[in-house]
Amino acid sequence: MYLLLYLATFVTCSLASASSFTVFIDGEAGTTGLQVRDRLSTRTDLTLLTPPDELRKDDKTRRAFLNKADACILCLPDAASKQAVDWLAEDKNEKTIIIDASTAFRTDPTFTYGLPELNKDQKACIARSKRISNPGCYPTGFISLVSPLVTAQLLAKDSLLTVNAVSGYSGGGKPLMKLYEGKEGDCEPVRATARARRRRSARSRCEEIVQETKGSALRRA
């Protein structure tokens, strides 16, 4: 998990002498947050800051924990991640390191793109950064393969490439994981049927548009 590599990198490089490093996982009850917490809970050099369960979505509490932590991992929807970053800016907090797992800041120039293998200097950039965007799984696979080819001038920067990528059901979060892993049994036939219905519906709508377009052309003629 790249998210944890970033954390380990800047802890080692930036605060190697610190006896304890505090981390707040904003959104730790979600699918991503639970996995991150599980990975970090065994670290003896980190202290996890956790608000009371009934206050974990309370804005005032979240803001206080953001400002208290040495680092915060945002496992939130885009809008909530932007809100958290705005709070730190309003509070003039330049101490807390932010690692954002959403898509909100992946192309933001004020954030460091969190892919150490992007180039030979990227790992050091991540270690120095206070704002890190976690790359998505598809971009990680694609960029890791293509970037070295572009750097070596074996592939033109403006090459038109297509990548066929397929996601697992865990990408749908806890509700979909429960559906697939629960007592309901194998859901693939239902899923396949739903896809087929969507395709038929889309195809029917396309045919309607084509017919409407032809009708309009005939009326104008």
pLDDT of residue 196: 46
Check whether 181 has a pLDDT greater than 90.
Answer: no
Q: pLDDT band for position 91 (50/70/90)? A: very high
Report the SS3 class of residue 209: helix
Give percent of the chain above pLDDT 90: 39
Token pair belonging to 186:
């194998």
Number of Cβ within 10 Å of residue 13's Cβ equals: 13
Q: Do 149 and 155 contact (CB within 8 A), yes or no? A: yes
Q: What is the largest CA-CA distance in the chain?
A: 81
Q: What's the Cα-to-Cα distance from 83 to each of 43, 71, 75, 79, 111, rounded to whole Å?
A: 29, 16, 13, 6, 15
Task: Report which of 142, 171, 36, 170 is spatially closest to residue 99, judged by C-alpha positions.
Answer: 36
**Tokens 């709070």 -> residue:** 87
Q: pLDDT band for position 221 (50/70/90)? A: very low
Over the stretch 33-78, which tens digit does the pLDDT of each residue have? 888 888 888 888 888 999 998 998 999 999 999 999 999 999 999 9
Q: Do 13 and 127 contact (CB within 8 A), yes or no? A: yes
Angstrom distance (rounded) from CA 27 to CA 25? 6
Instruction: Please give the positions annotated as active site.
Output: 137
User: What does the pLDDT average to over 181-206?
Assistant: 52
- CATH architecture classification, 2-141: 3-Layer(aba) Sandwich (3.40)
User: What does the pLDDT average to over 91-101?
Assistant: 93
Bridging pattern class, strands 97-100 and 112-113? unpaired
Residue-range domain boundaries for the chain: 2-141, 188-220
Quote the distance between the C-alpha of residue 32 and its chain's center.
9
**More confident position, 194 or 58:** 58
